[in-house]
């Protein structure tokens, strides 16, 4: 890639005009071997110029090259990075005539492509000429070239690459056409036209001259071979079907003949079987008739005997009924006497029970009154103990640990990550949303801490006051609801007061300085809350605050412990 920059000449001498044209070549050509890749800075020579001075500075403004030459170019060997250069032209009298503006340029790292292609056999497309390879080529840059090289190296075919974004770029205009010089992409396909069958390898070369090649693979017209094989298989299938059809017809005729013979034999056997069954039926009916006559005779004899037994049983039952009636009469007379006695005893017992019931009712009424008063007292006590306390005020103390400060205090105070400062805290919680084991609401908190540094000249104090609002989510891991895990997050305002007191001789000439400033902050925290009683709450946790400043951010981690009151 070439970079070309032009600056208008300035008439510094009466008759001397120099037009400077700058060319930067090889900006992509720097790798581990600096002798292999050189950068060349060229310009158009003016015959009225005696000498040129080229000054090159890096991104920090440090001068790294200052070269004088009477030629129209200089050769450089710079490491990758961003630079600027300026050219001074001196006339034939050695005086400075023309100076260009500072012109930026970049030195980029040369990239060697990396090829991943694991196929030993590739097939041509349906036209028998086009070859499209599935590959993974990393490090593709502008003007990269892809080629198919025969195994003996005598024949080469240029192709095109398809980048990972799906955009295809022809090799003739660069595989990375449309990319910036510093961009590298991955190619996922390589396409070639008019490719004969044979053994080939894939070669990719970047503009820097770095290249890479794949293992040798075979290219064949697989689709054509598959079509020929399919036609042959179709002919063999048709021949097999014809032979199977002829054998099936022959077998069907033989089966039909055999089935007819079997049908005639079955009809003859069926006729003989019917005659045999008719003869057996006549014999069986004669036997059944004789057997039925014998059964009728036996049944009549059994019926006659049963009737005689029934008459005897009737006489026995009549006698038993008379005896039962006599017993029932006697038992009835005894039952009436017993019932009269029971009624007398029941009346006496009822009178005694009525008197006892009246006494017990009076005692129950007195006991109920006592229980009612005790119940009301217990309900008032339970209502106080189980009251849903949604507010809590929790003062506490902790430390303020500076995780990072973006260099804010480095000009005044030596601040390190191990700087711990005492902090006072106060929190007001309001959790209106209650479920069985969850609480949700909001919290307002206040953090106060100071940071101090003293030397021989002054004492610097930073007073930090942070007002913060959070959304709070609290969950109870157990069933007793005595221990809670609390998550919170929100934003607030961090106010700093900077006080500078001068010491010694400086105190006479310097006035005490006080500066107040504030910044928006955001953060969150995690804490553990324990409720030992219904009124007390013990909270242990840590909050993180990120202060959004103009040129730097401050990160504070504030562990704390607090004891509060719930109401």
What is residue 171's DSSP assignment?
A: G
**What is the band of 383 on the pLDDT scale with cuts at 50, 70, 90?**
low
Tell me how far apart the alpha carbons of residues 442 and 426 are, in angstroms, rounded to a whole number.
14
pLDDT of residue 79: 84
- What are 401's two structure tokens? 């640990």
Full-model pTM: 0.36
> 398-432, pLDDT tens digit by residue?
999 888 876 655 544 444 334 678 999 999 999 99
Write the DSSP assignment of 40-107 as a string of letters: EEEE---TTEEEEEEEEEETTS-EEEEEEESSSEEEE-PPSEEEEEEEEEEETTS-EEEEPPPEEEEE
> Across residues 365-381, what is the average pLDDT?
85
Find, among 428, 483, 451, the residue nearest to 556 by Cα.
451
Q: Predicted confidence band at 165 (pLDDT cuts at 50, 70, 90)?
A: low
- Whether residue 173 has pLDDT greater than 90: no
Give the list of residues 6+ apart from residue 71 with CB closer than 8 angstroms, or none.
45, 52
β-strands 39-43, 73-76: how paired?
A: antiparallel
Checking if the pLDDT of 443 tops 80, the result is: yes
Termini Cα distance of the chain: 75
Residue 175 confidence (pLDDT) above 80: no
More confident residue, 10 or 129: 129
For residue 419, the model assigns a pLDDT of 62
DSSP state of 511: -
Q: Does residue 530 surpass a pLDDT of 90?
A: yes
Q: Is 120 strand, coil or helix?
A: coil
Q: Is the pLDDT of residue 28 over 90?
A: no
Q: How confident is the model at residue 171 (pLDDT cuts 50, 70, 90)?
A: very low
Bridge partner list, 440: 433, 473
Question: Locate tokens 């809590």: which residue?
Answer: 392
Q: What was the pLDDT predicted at 3?
A: 33
Per-residue pLDDT tens over the stretch 61-83: 999 999 999 888 898 888 888 99
6-27: pLDDT as tens digits: 333 444 333 333 344 444 434 4
Q: How far apart are CA 424 and CA 399, in angstroms?
A: 8
Q: What are phi and psi of 425, to 5 degrees?
A: -130, 155
Give the helix/strand (H/E) hosting 317. helix 222-385
Q: Are 395 and 563 in contact (CB under 8 A)?
A: yes
Confidence grade of residue 521 (pLDDT, cut at 50, 70, 90): very high
**If residue 389 lies in a helix (H) or strand (E), which one and from where to where?**
none
Q: Model confidence over 218-227: pLDDT tens digits? A: 888 888 878 8
pLDDT of residue 180: 53
Contact between residue 542 and residue 557 where contact means Cβ atoms under 8 Å apart: yes
Residue 246 has pLDDT above 60, yes or no: yes
- Closest residue by Cα to residue 46 from 29, 21, 64: 21
pLDDT digits (tens, 9 = 90+) for 83-115: 999 999 998 888 888 888 998 988 877 778 888
Q: What's the pLDDT tens digit per position in 321-367?
A: 888 888 888 888 888 888 888 888 888 888 888 888 888 888 888 88
**pLDDT mean over 378-392:** 73
CB environment 84-108: b (16+ within 10 A), e (fewer):
ebebbbbbeeeeebbbbeebebebb
Highest-pLDDT range among 228-232, 241-245, 364-368, 527-531: 527-531
């Amino acid at each position: 890639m070439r970079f070309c920059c032009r600056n208008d000449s300035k008439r510094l001498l009466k008759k001397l005009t120099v037009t400077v044209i700058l060319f930067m070549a090889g900006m992509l050509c720097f790798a581990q071997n600096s002798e292999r890749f050189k950068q060349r800075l060229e310009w158009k020579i003016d015959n009225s110029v005696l000498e040129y001075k080229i000054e090159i500075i890096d991104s920090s403004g440090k001068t790294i090259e200052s070269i004088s030459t009477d030629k129209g170019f200089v050769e450089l060997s710079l490491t990758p990075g961003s630079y600027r250069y300026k050219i001074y032209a001196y006339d034939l009298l050695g005086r400075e005539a023309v100076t260009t503006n500072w012109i930026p340029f970049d030195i980029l790292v040369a990239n060697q492509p990396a090829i991943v292609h694991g196929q030993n056999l590739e097939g041509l497309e349906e036209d028998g000429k086009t070859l499209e390879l599935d590959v993974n080529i990393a490090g593709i840059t502008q003007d990269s070239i892809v080629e198919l090289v025969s195994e003996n190296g005598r024949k080469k075919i240029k192709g095109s690459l398809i980048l990972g974004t799906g955009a295809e770029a022809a090799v003739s205009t660069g595989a990375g056409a449309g990319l910036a010089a510093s961009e590298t992409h991955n190619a996922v396909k390589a396409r070639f036209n008019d490719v004969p069958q044979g053994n080939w390898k894939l070669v990719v070369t970047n503009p820097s001259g770095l290249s890479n090649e794949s293992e040798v693979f075979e290219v064949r017209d697989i689709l054509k071979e598959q079509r020929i094989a399919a036609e042959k298989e179709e002919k063999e299938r048709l021949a097999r079907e014809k032979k199977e059809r002829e054998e099936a017809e022959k077998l069907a005729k033989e089966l039909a003949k055999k089935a007819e013979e079997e049908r005639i034999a079955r009809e003859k056997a069926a006729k003989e079987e019917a005659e045999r069954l008719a003869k057996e039926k006549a014999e069986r009916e004669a036997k059944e008739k004789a057997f039925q006559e014998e059964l009728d005779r036996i049944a009549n004899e059994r019926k006659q005997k049963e009737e005689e037994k029934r008459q005897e049983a009737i006489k026995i039952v009549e006698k038993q009924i008379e005896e039962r009636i006599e017993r029932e009469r006697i038992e009835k007379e005894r039952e009436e006497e017993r019932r009269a006695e029971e009624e007398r005893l029941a009346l006496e017992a009822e009178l005694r029970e009525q008197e006892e019931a009246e006494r017990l009712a009076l005692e129950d009424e007195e006991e109920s009154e006592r229980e009612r008063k005790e119940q009301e007292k217990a309900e008032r006590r339970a209502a106080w103990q189980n009251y849903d306390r949604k507010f809590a005020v929790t003062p506490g103390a902790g430390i303020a640990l500076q995780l990072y400060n973006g260099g804010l205090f480095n000009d005044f105070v030596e601040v390190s990550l191990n700087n711990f400062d005492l902090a006072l805290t106060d929190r007001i919680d309001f959790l209106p949303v209650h479920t069985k084991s969850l609480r949700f609401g909001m919290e307002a908190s206040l953090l106060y801490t100071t940071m101090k540094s003293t030397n021989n000249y002054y004492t610097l104090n930073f007073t930090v006051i942070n007002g913060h609002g959070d959304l709070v989510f609290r969950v109870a891991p157990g069933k007793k609801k005595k221990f809670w895990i609390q998550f919170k997050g929100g934003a607030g305002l961090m106010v700093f007061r900077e006080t500078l007191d001068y010491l010694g001789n400086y105190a006479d000439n310097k006035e005490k300085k006080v500066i107040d400033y504030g910044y928006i902050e955001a953060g969150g925290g995690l804490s553990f809350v324990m409720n030992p009683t219904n009124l007390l709450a013990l909270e242990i946790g840590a909050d993180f605050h990120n202060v959004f400043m103009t040129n730097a951010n401050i990160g504070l981690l504030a562990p704390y412990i607090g004891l509060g009151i719930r109401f």
